[in-house]
Structure 1
Amino acid sequence: MAKKEIIVVGGGIGGLTAGAMLAQAGCRVTILEASREWGGCAGKFQRNQFLFASGATLGMGLEKGGIHERIFRHLGIKTDAQRLDSVMKIKQGDRTLTFHADRQQHVQALQQAFPQKKNEISGFYEEVYQKAAKIRLLMKKLPILPVKTGKEAFELLSSLRPAHVSLTPDFFKTISSLLKKHDLHTCHDLVSFIDGQLIDSMQTTSRDCALLMGVLALDIYHEGAFYVQGGLYQFAYELMNAAKRNGAQAILGRRVTSIKKVGDRFEIEDHRGKIRTADHVICNAPIQSLPGLLDHPSYLQLSTGLKKRAKKDTWGTMTAYLSLKDAYLPADFPLFQQLMNPDGKGHDEGDHLFLSISDPHDRLRAPEGYRTLTVSTHINLDHWKNDEQYEENKALFTEKMLRTIRAYYPAIDEALVELYPGAPKAWERFTYRPSGMVGGFPQTRSHSLFLSVSHRTSLKNFWLCGDSVFPGGGTIGVSVSGYHCFHSITGRKLIQ
């Protein structure tokens, strides 16, 4: 029997996962990445002697049974990662909270911070952890949502247990409703703390975050959070090398400009005019890229719902990359932290920052005595449409982010060696994401679970993976979507 020929468009974590697993299964795989770097939003770039993590920085899913651990074990990949007992610090003006990996310690610390809500916090997190445990039991077999075929329905039903019946009413609720149930909705600093976790993982806050996705997000750090030496780009390179070991071609600097369905096969043309053919195409690009990638007749074969969502913008990000002298940083400067603008009220537009700094001993990212720092905030791309506004915003946001860092770390200017701003056009230019969109759709009730975008499209043998589709963003989410493409094409399953 002839081997299936598969082209993966995009070398982010999702596409590389699909490509590596399909190559190991015996398919003929070609992975085409437009940029000169693997990893997409989990990539890297070099400036002089400093290496910066582009976006995603906190390692997840490496614990026993975690999605990355399972995929890497399936592919024979080993990683150099340090498990964190203290996942991150969260600074809110005069208050500093710690996200502890241990669940009991985490709850006790929050009870100490908010003693007037001690019993309510206990009840809230007990329910969060109970619901998350039930969902993880369901997700162990990685069922596909939304269900599109009889086989997918059967696999979902086979994953269900009696305990899952109790989750049914939660499909229609938000995290905000759970906070209100436990009388925590008026405890503004605690809600802000929870919103900080949700905005970075679910792309939305408690008011709109779907409850079932939200409890997973609030629980997932307790399953395992890791510092990866060098950065999460290591995942991308390990996956790429695994794909190559199994015979795949993995090519950088090949921007796909056209995907055309011709009979039962596809013709894929790159920016150099080279045309490749394949039985299957896996598109590891945001669905907003589809109108420009697919030829018109093929695009018309997509479902109305998918085409409608392909016209919707998602978040953008403003990022700052700093190289720092370690001697000027406090000894307890956390590897990961969130900083709230002392004068701000929201969790976007520079009022909420996520910081990731290299470990002092990580020689892959900085020479001895120096460290590299990635700082990011969510932004509304509607405010960055014209050139004059864009340049003004770029300068204003850079300074706003620095002001917030200075509020907590006054010596940051003495530590600073160089600063590189990463505005939306940089993300568009280097990762080819339309308008610089990152993170995928917010995991609200209208965008998650049964209402999310499927990896399966109505254009036969044209598949999607990445942060636009179920189960969403983050390296865990995109890896699951890559696995779903592998599973649907081959019928094979990931080892337990």
Structure 2
Amino acid sequence: MEGTDALSRVVVVGAGFGGLSVAARLAARGHRVEVFEQGPEVGGKLGWFSRDGFSFDTGPSLLTLPAVQRDLFLKTGAPIEEVLDVVPLDPVAHYRFGDGTELDLPGGGLPAVAAALDDALGAGTGAQWTAFQRRAARIWDVAREPFLESALEGPRTLVRLARSTSDVRTVAPWASLRGLGRTYLQDPRLRTLLDRYATYSGSDPAKAPAALATVPFVEQAFGAWYVRGGLHRLAQAVADRAVENGARIRTGTPVARVLEAGGRASGLRLQDGTEVAADVVVSAVDAARLYRDLLPRPRLQPKRRLRSSSGFVLLLALDGRTPGLRHHTVLFPPDYDAEFADLAAGRPVADPTVYVSAPDDPALRPDEHSEAWFVLVNAPVHDPAGGTDWRDAGLVERYAATVLETMARRGLDVRDRVRWSEVRTPADLEHLTGSDGGAIYGTASNGARSAFLRPANRSPVPGLFLVGGSSHPGGGLPLVGLSARIVTDLVGGAD
């Protein structure tokens, strides 16, 4: 049972990265684990699409904080390097700012980043960014163990951060990421670069807490990494590791209800009516969906939280090669604030930032004369009742053309090279992954409460736990991996 060394029957709802990670960890501890996934494949948002020899990761395109994944594989059987080819990215990304300035952001550590900034943006910009990163490093040191690596315990989690007055001043829970940045960064392009990191959690930099300064710090201090063959291989490798440790994974098996008996979670009812008994239930689906749809006690549903942004995606199968193309390219608009205003209003962004992921990986293209591009722009969630209805075919067609035109204006015109394209909208993401409205990260980290007090890993129902990007400590592969580690420790069992 939870919190002891006794071994349990554990059922996991959802085979996204969080569900697979917790299944592998719990199975390695000796628990009897069974995973139920509604879709035909594992991976969740670590999706994959192939056609005519072109292949695309449809979710994350890089790994940060690789120590989290290394720990997962070591604790479940063998080092990650024995099953995956994980390679550092250098440069991590190519940025084109609204004024036409271009920057290759290196992957060689913080001193290399400072030197690149001085070269691209002018002398002194590296020193500004370094001063900011020193503050971010202090925030990381203060918040990492008591918050990111520990279970959420409501307001007591924030109290853990208040071990000293200096710690509180360091984290500055009253400040926004943008506000903190402007204390250190005078160059407007540095401010734009920092604002971009708020979108890693689907948030608004003017509202996201200063603690998100740790996002660029982690990426630049510990590096960014790619899995050759695509990041979907990471999900498959974790699924394989879970099975090797005795877990069973059942795809195409939707869950209808979390069962309760004697005041605690007691198993699942599947959509076909089958009931599966369990000592422990781990939900790896969107927290909003769990509390709204899967629990028999709606009163447990937490207060409605602001959903993170979603994404509008083009998968482009291109003829020809692009000289000098980087793994990641980010094309900023002249007015970045207008993008966040459109998102807050629930409307498609008129002049969006365009993100292109185009790994130079032979596994993703049919030949050496082709390229597979994943193109993403931030988008409001699917909300036909009060916002944008992404099932409107006319809107989707017009907006896809807008994205291509925007790319062309900013120097990446591929319209005459498109062999075929595939569009993924927030409505598609909601359908494929069960995320509320297609919110990529579940809850937006806008404000200290949203960032630090996400849905807890231990639910109000004894024996029911939450893992994944919509619960503590947050979205993105490293935090989801930490979520799985936290839940594993809460459930307990032999190592």
TM-score interval, smaller chain? 0.7 to 0.9
Shift of 1:139: 6.5
Shift of 1:117: 5.5
2:461 paired with 1:446: no
Task: Pick one of 305, 316, 319 that aligns with 2:310.
Answer: 316
Shift of 1:451: 2.4
Q: How does 1:275-314 map to 2 (within 5 A)?
A: 275-297=275-297, 299-300=298-299, 302=300, 307-309=302-304, 312-314=306-308
Query: Comparing 444-453 with 467-476, which one deviates more in the overlay?
Result: 444-453
Match of 1:371 in 2: 371
Task: Pick one of 86, 89, 94 that aligns with 1:89.
Answer: 94
Aligned 8 A contact 2:174 2:448 in 1: no
2:48 paired with 1:47: no
Task: Pick one of 328, 338, 350 that aligns with 2:330.
Answer: 338
Aligned-residue sequence identity (percent) comes to 21
Aligned 8 A contact 2:353 2:377 in 1: yes
Distance, in Å, in 1 between the alignment partners of 2:446 and 2:390 is 33
Q: 1:358 to 1:471 in 2, by over 3 A?
A: same
Match of 2:118 in 1: 111
Shift of 1:411: 4.7
SS in structure 2 at match of 1:296? coil
Task: Pick one of 3, 8, 17 that aligns with 1:4.
Answer: 8
Shift of 1:388: 8.7
Q: How many residues align?
A: 472
TM-score of the two chains, using structure 2 as the length reference: 0.86
Match of 1:256 in 2: 255
Shift of 1:392: 3.1
Q: 1:148 to 1:248 in 2, by over 3 A?
A: farther
Distance, in Å, in 2 between the alignment partners of 1:239 and 1:206 is 33
Q: How does 1:6-405 map to 2 (within 5 A)?
A: 6-62=10-66, 66-75=67-76, 76=78, 77-78=80-81, 79-93=84-98, 94-101=100-107, 102-115=109-122, 118=125, 121-122=128-129, 124-135=131-142, 138=145, 142-146=149-153, 165=167, 167=169, 170-182=172-184, 184=186, 187-199=187-199, 201-212=200-211, 214-222=212-220, 223-263=222-262, 264-297=264-297, 299-300=298-299, 302=300, 307-309=302-304, 312-325=306-319, 327=320, 329-341=321-333, 345-346=338-339, 349=349, 351-359=352-360, 361-364=361-364, 366-381=366-381, 384-385=384-385, 390-405=392-407
Shift of 1:472: 0.8
Q: 1:384 to 1:319 in 2, by over 3 A?
A: farther
Distance, in Å, in 2 between the alignment partners of 1:426 and 1:119 is 41
Aligned 8 A contact 2:114 2:125 in 1: no
Distance, in Å, in 2 between the alignment partners of 1:165 and 1:2 is 38
The residue type paired with residue 394 of structure 1 is V
The residue type paired with residue 25 of structure 1 is R
The residue type paired with residue 116 of structure 2 is A
Give a deviation string over 1:97-143, Cα, whole Å, max 9, x none: 22222211212332344437548615633433432552476369922
SS in structure 2 at match of 1:381? coil
Shift of 1:372: 1.6
Shift of 1:250: 0.6
Flag structure 2 segments of 5+ consecutive residues without an equivalent. Answer: 344-348
Flag structure 1 segments of 5+ consecutive residues without an equivalent. Answer: none
Q: 1:409 to 1:273 in 2, by over 3 A?
A: farther
The residue type paired with residue 87 of structure 1 is V
Distance, in Å, in 1 between the alignment partners of 2:274 and 2:258 is 12
Q: 1:258 to 1:133 in 2, by over 3 A?
A: closer
Query: Comparing 417-426 with 74-83, which one deviates more in the overlay?
Result: 74-83
Query: Comparing 337-346 with 30-39, which one deviates more in the overlay?
Result: 337-346
TM-score of the two chains, using structure 1 as the length reference: 0.86
